[in-house]
Structure 1
Amino acid sequence: MFSESTLANNTILITGGGSGLGLAMAKGFCRSGANVAICGRTEEKLIKATKEIENEREDSKVGYYICDVRDHDAVSKMIEAVVADFGSLEGLVNNAAGNFLSASEDLTPGGFKAVVDIVLHGSFNCTHAFGNYLIDNEREGNILNIVTTYAESTGCAFVLPSACSKAGVLAMTRSLAFEWAEYGIRVNAIAPGPFPTKGAWSRLVPSKIFEKKFINKIPMKRYGEHEELANLATFLMSDLAPFITGESVVIDGGERLQAGQFNFINDLMSRKKLKAAFKAMRPKK
């Protein structure tokens, strides 16, 4: 379906592009002809990811930027740096995220804020800076936001900060798709189901019991492959989808047909044991 010219003449910035789904999308964009910029907070991870992306295509142009998406000034400077290094910027993928399991009554204000700052504020910061770059320079472009299957209508137990944040990002997606259409800016979202990643998976699916439950509630009885999501992202960011905007495309093997991605946890054990398990999963300070 895709060739090395599908995303030719496009430079795309992926936040949180140093690992997981962000890295998978970066590799997919590169294979399809795009120049790729990734950003994150850990330089070692970004250096390693950059080398992996460069291996996807001989003539690829890849760059990395150390940036905290929670800082609007830092994001604005990063957008300027990407444009200076690559000559232009046509696409943005808001992929940077944070999530953890917790009984909602045990959430601290700081824990709630940590997720909202990365997911909602971070997505706004990057979208605002990139959108203004496009509008000021009378350029068209594409924005792709990574949300969740529980952002639209169900919400989700035990991941309240993520549910609130992703719902906000989805609302932003649709609001800006309408408002910025006159500028030639398309804004879409992808809502993935379970796609195992090294970092997030250990925090959200920490045991074989959890993993078995996840598989059993997916009608297709398997997890998503990273390349499958990368293919969908490539399609939405390309000229193959010029009339699609304001859309959230679900890719989850039918899992969304059961409400609340983590609601099944309530059936695993008593509330008291659940809370003890969540506490044990938190990183040691």
Structure 2
Amino acid sequence: MAESYKHRAVPALDVFKPDIFKDKVVFVTGGGSGICYAVTETLMRLGAKAAIVGRNAERLRGAADSLSKATQSQAIATPADVRKIETLQHAVKQTIEQFGKIDFVICGAAGNFMAPIEGLSPNAFRTVVEIDLLGTFNTVRATMEEVKKSHGNYLHISATLHYSGLPWQAAPSAAKAGVDALSAALAVELGPYGVRSNCIAPGLIAGTEGADRLVPQGQDEMVLGFMPMQRIGQKDDIANAAVYLFSEAASWITGQILVVDGGSVHFRGPFLPYPDSVLDTKSFKSLFPGSKM
């Protein structure tokens, strides 16, 4: 039998012009860790300056220092809670005082955990929706006037969870579906101002909290069986997609959702045994240590 072929993840600097984002400023919620940290680092290596947003001020300052040292560009920490628009407005004010403008906005703050609906409290559901969906709306409202001035871009980090009825993912599925709809409305309303709005929907990305939570323990090989490209995604895969969507090469692309998942969206199905995982939820709790019951 022939062996499967695996494309490698390619760093952005191997493909894109080094100063493609010279003098650009990016405002990033969730920029202190995970996918958004990696995207921010890539944009900075390509010339951008960054303001990263998160709730933990000390951790955020450490992340900003690391980004600045790694890229020879400048990142600042602008602490805020995306659920509270006044804190985002303050973060925007700090960004303008430091850099004078905002060209790009990445709405990447997110919350997620595994839980069947019967184990999902109203407060837990509300928390995920407030971080993912309300947080995206608040970020847009806080930055909108500055992005209109720069004829800039919004990029929302979405997901593929809601493309089917995925067990144990009701809250983030509902929230990300709302993010997709909000991005489309934003594209229509702000298009005449020269502003674009798009989503990236990542698949499973190695080294992220999302992958740690969503993959059942000991089931890595099973998960690969759902991926036509035969590998788990890397943060570089998402960063490269972001570079393209922010670049002038995508100047006629708005209101779209770019799925970056190695083709696994075409093998939609739960990573849990079905229907056993919904008929006897407690039997599968051990596969997801952080799940709610």
Distance (whole Å) between structure 1 residues aligned to residue 267 and residue 259 of structure 2? 13
Query: Do the aligned partners of 1:120 and 1:169 also contact (CA within 8 Å) in 2?
Result: yes
Alignment of 1:250-269 (within 5 A): 250-260=259-269, 263-267=270-274
Gaps of 5+ in 2: 1-14
Q: Which string of whole-angstrom CA distances, capped at 9 and with x for unpartnered residues, describes residues 115-152 of structure 1?
A: 000000000000111113334xx33110000111234x
Structure 2 residue corresponding to 1:147, chosen from 135, 158, 166: 158
**Structure 1 pair 53/142, CA: closer, same or farther in 2 (3 Å)?**
same
Distance (whole Å) between structure 1 residues aligned to residue 32 and residue 125 of structure 2? 24
1:233 aligned residue:
242
State the AA in 1 paired with 2:103.
E
Distance (whole Å) between structure 2 residues aligned to residue 51 and residue 111 of structure 1? 33
Distance (whole Å) between structure 2 residues aligned to residue 11 and residue 155 of structure 1? 38
1:45 aligned residue:
59
The TM-score, its normalising length taken from structure 1, stands at: 0.90
Distance (whole Å) between structure 1 residues aligned to residue 248 and residue 208 of structure 2? 32
Q: Which string of whole-angstrom CA distances, capped at 9 and with x for unpartnered residues, describes residues 146-203 of structure 1?
A: 111234x424221101000000000011111011100111001101111023433332
1:57 aligned residue:
71
Work out whether 1:160 is the aligned partner of 2:170: yes
Give 1:270 deviation, angstroms.
5.0
Give 1:65 deviation, angstroms.
1.4
**Structure 1 pair 4/56, CA: closer, same or farther in 2 (3 Å)?**
farther
Q: Which string of whole-angstrom CA distances, capped at 9 and with x for unpartnered residues, describes residues 251-277 of structure 1?
A: 1011000225xx231349554653354
Query: Do the aligned partners of 2:36 and 2:108 also contact (CA within 8 Å) in 1?
Result: yes
**Structure 1 pair 171/81, CA: closer, same or farther in 2 (3 Å)?**
same
**Number of residue pairs matched by the alignment:** 277
Distance (whole Å) between structure 1 residues aligned to residue 138 and residue 108 of structure 2? 13
Distance (whole Å) between structure 2 residues aligned to residue 229 and residue 201 of structure 1? 14
Distance (whole Å) between structure 2 residues aligned to residue 270 and residue 79 of structure 1? 44
RMSD: 2.0
Alignment of 1:171-186 (within 5 A): 171-186=181-196
Give 1:218 deviation, angstroms.
1.1
1:36 aligned residue:
50
State the AA in 2 paired with 1:77.
H
**Structure 1 pair 52/269, CA: closer, same or farther in 2 (3 Å)?**
farther
Q: Which string of whole-angstrom CA distances, capped at 9 and with x for unpartnered residues, describes residues 69-121 of structure 1?
A: 01011111111111111111111001110111111122100110110000000
**Structure 1 pair 155/271, CA: closer, same or farther in 2 (3 Å)?**
closer
**Structure 1 pair 18/268, CA: closer, same or farther in 2 (3 Å)?**
farther
Give 1:225 deviation, angstroms.
1.1
Distance (whole Å) between structure 2 residues aligned to residue 282 and residue 240 of structure 1? 41
Provide the secondary structure at the position in 1 that maps to 2:198.
strand
Query: Do the aligned partners of 1:141 and 1:185 also contact (CA within 8 Å) in 2?
Result: yes
1:274 aligned residue:
281
**Structure 1 pair 172/268, CA: closer, same or farther in 2 (3 Å)?**
same
Distance (whole Å) between structure 2 residues aligned to residue 228 and residue 198 of structure 1? 13
Work out whether 1:131 is the aligned partner of 2:144: yes
Distance (whole Å) between structure 2 residues aligned to residue 199 and residue 161 of structure 1? 16
2:5 aligned residue:
none
Give percent identity, aligned residues only. Answer: 32
**Structure 1 pair 271/157, CA: closer, same or farther in 2 (3 Å)?**
closer
The TM-score, its normalising length taken from structure 2, stands at: 0.88
2:229 aligned residue:
220
